[in-house]
Amino acid sequence: MLSVCVASLLVMPNVFAQSSTKSDNPPSANSNAPSSGSDHRQWANDARTAINAQDYETALMAAKKIAASSASLDYQLLAADTMLRCGDAHHAIVQFEKYLDKRPADRPHLWQLGIALYFDGKFKEGAELFEKHREVNPNDVENAAWHFLCVAKGDSPEKAKQMLLPAPDDFRPPMKEVLEMLKSGDTAPVKERMTSFGDNESRAKSAQFYGDFYLGLYADALGDKATAQKHLDAAAKDSPRNYMGDVAKVYSRYLKK
């Protein structure tokens, strides 16, 4: 990995409010007509530009066009990532699996599929994906945290603690403290590390964001929805413009279901 609840900060398609009846076909994007390589490049550029601008509705529409076309596998993977970052976890899973049908060896690398599986309620499959990801990325505390969450939701927090994945030497603040929190249940060291940097230090914002994100995830794993919502709202409000920043917005919205 890498690495809103407040309406004015979150302009995102309300995919969580849609009908519980799910289709494995992405919603129509009027892309049934033959398309060309230039079309695919344009849609990919549209998706990237819109994501960077946090225009999730436009980004999702571009992703749907790619998914419905004969675009290359790299573009199909971009569509899957875009769908997840826009909050459409179910169709992101379909799109990731479409990609993996042709590139099955890439499965351990696709941590983002594990996140989509969590949001779609597929906790066992999500846990299995994060276990596979550890084989290629053994030092990632974020991977251990998402695995903990999936096991906690699919079984129990006690089982998640027993099955906690090792993730040594992740030096990004506050990842060491997050891993210890998953082991001990003590949230204080994470909070202390989050605020241990001066306001002008480059790592201050990152530590605050990831601290709130994983305090929220841990609370969600324990079933403390109010605390989870508080921290994920905080993470979403000041999120960086990157993959996990978008996931924070998706997560904050997901908790409102």
Distance CA 137, CA 36 (A): 36
* Single-letter residue type at 243: Y
- Of the candidates 157, 132, 155, the one whose C-alpha atom is nearest the C-alpha of residue 143 is 132
**Do 143 and 1 touch, CB atoms closer than 8 A?**
yes
Domain count, the chain: 3
Residues 193 and 149 reside in one and the same domain: no
Query: What pLDDT score does 15 carry?
Result: 52
**Do 84 and 110 touch, CB atoms closer than 8 A?**
no
Query: What pLDDT score does 232 carry?
Result: 98
**Do 40 and 66 touch, CB atoms closer than 8 A?**
yes
**Do 117 and 125 touch, CB atoms closer than 8 A?**
yes
- Of the candidates 214, 172, 177, 213, the one whose C-alpha atom is nearest the C-alpha of residue 193 is 177
Q: Where among 115, 141, 169 does a domain terminate?
A: 169
Find where tokens 């066992």 sit. 124
Residues 82 and 160 reside in one and the same domain: no
Query: What pLDDT score does 3 carry?
Result: 39
Residues 110 and 98 reside in one and the same domain: no
- Enclosing domain of residue 217: 171-257
Stated pTM of the model = 0.89
First to last CA, the chain: 26
Residue 5 lies in a domain: no
Q: Where among 68, 102, 136 does a domain terminate?
A: 102
Q: Which CATH number characterizes residue 165's domain?
A: 1.25.40
Residues 47 and 63 reside in one and the same domain: yes
Residue 122 lies in a domain: yes
Query: What pLDDT score does 29 carry?
Result: 53
Question: In which residue ranges of the chain is pLDDT below 50?
Answer: 2-11, 16-20, 31
Query: What pLDDT score does 200 carry?
Result: 72
Residues 184 and 249 reside in one and the same domain: yes
**Do 189 and 181 touch, CB atoms closer than 8 A?**
yes
Query: What pLDDT score does 34 carry?
Result: 77
* Single-letter residue type at 67: A
Q: What is the pLDDT of residues 204-253, one digit of tens each?
A: 999 999 999 999 999 999 999 999 999 999 999 989 999 999 999 999 99
- Of the candidates 113, 137, 151, the one whose C-alpha atom is nearest the C-alpha of residue 243 is 113
Question: Could you give the maximum distance between any two Cα atoms of the chain, in Å?
Answer: 57
* Single-letter residue type at 216: G
